[in-house]
Amino acid sequence: MSFESDLADLLLGDAAITGRVASFGALKCVWPGVRPEGSGVPCVVTTVVSEAPVVDLDGEDNAGAGLVFLHLQIDCYANSYDAAVALATAVRARM
């Protein structure tokens, strides 16, 4: 599993989010990176903006644990401002 798919699973594990996002075929609209053309709104798009390894006094990568600092951007799209804010509020609460 990748971070992006784990994040999508985390978000879709919340009924407040799944009840607000559209479906695209059999998929709920939580997309990593870019929203596919033709997919509906409301939806969530997640983007890892940057990442850097955790460095401590013992050196980089915290003894091989693979820890990283992530700058994550989550965009919520909907047909109205109020619907986008409601979706963003649900996402923020889940995080």
11-58 pLDDT, tens digit each:
999 999 998 998 887 678 998 988 988 888 999 999 999 988 877 776
**Is 60 exceeded by the pLDDT of residue 63?**
no
**Is 70 exceeded by the pLDDT of residue 60?**
no
pLDDT of 61 reads 59
Place of tokens 């006094």: 57
**Is 70 exceeded by the pLDDT of residue 8?**
yes
**Is 70 exceeded by the pLDDT of residue 3?**
yes
Q: Which amino acid is located at 68 in the chain?
A: V
